[in-house]
Amino acid sequence: MMNFVEDLGVNGHLTIIKVDREGNEEILLDDANTIVSGLGVGLSYLFTGSGSDSILDYQIDRFQVGVSGPHEAYSTNPSSISQLSGALGQNEYGADSNLFIQKGGLLIRPGFATPTEYFALIPSHKITRISDTSVRYTLVLDEEACNDLQGDSLEDLNINEIAMFLKNPSGTTGAGISIMACYRTFSNIRKTNDFSLIFRWTLNF
């Protein structure tokens, strides 16, 4: 399915910006991302008419942040990645943040999905068409989101991976099954309430 995506010429770019309480901005990353084979799987449901009857299910409308990146497949076959190494749980996104967290399934491989993933939804006003072939997604971890994360042994956890997902291209009933569309790992960021993180993710189709 990755060849299908490559044939379509899909590519992406991610910029990560740190914004402190005074509004000062610092660019932490400005680089290409990895388009994964899941995007091809999702689009194949659409083009073959074998998936959802609703076009909304094919939209990229959610993301996850992780603390165990990069995924082990990143160095050998980045396009094969289908899940984050250490995706955050519901409470780790922050009860007082502006994020809306939704529970759902995630397709890991053909015929197998995990039912208990947590996704941060991307508000429609944060999805912007910037040309006939480009869409920009603005993902915001505000000052109250993902702060001072710790592991089971109380060790500090750093944000270092992120992915966006197609909503539910198979048309599965109930909570639905999402599919990863793109992934990016980056240097460790210890998130605190002193700053927000803005992820400006542009996909070119």
* Residue range 60-85, pLDDT digits in tens: 999 999 999 887 778 788 888 999 99
Across-strand partners of 87?
66
pLDDT less than 50: residues of the chain: none
Distance (Å, whole) CA 194 – CA 21: 6
pLDDT at residue 119, as a whole number = 98
**128 close to 136: Cβ distance less than 8 angstroms:** yes
Token pair, residue 114, equals 């995990």
pLDDT at residue 19, as a whole number = 98
pLDDT at residue 8, as a whole number = 65
Whole-model pTM: value is 0.94
**11 close to 184: Cβ distance less than 8 angstroms:** no
pLDDT at residue 71, as a whole number = 76
3-state secondary structure of 194: coil
Q: What residues contact residue 35 under an 8 Å CB cut-off, 6+ apart?
A: 2, 5, 10, 11, 12, 79, 181, 182, 203
pLDDT at residue 73, as a whole number = 78
In the chain, where are the structural domains located? 11-204
pLDDT at residue 9, as a whole number = 77
Distance (Å, whole) CA 119 – CA 100: 8
CA distance readout (Å), 189 to 140, 159, 179: 14, 5, 25
3-state secondary structure of 190: coil
Cis check for the bond before 70: say yes or no (omega within 30 of 0).
Answer: yes
Nearest to 39 by CA among 165, 189, 192: 165
Radius of gyration (C-alpha) of the chain in whole angstroms:
16
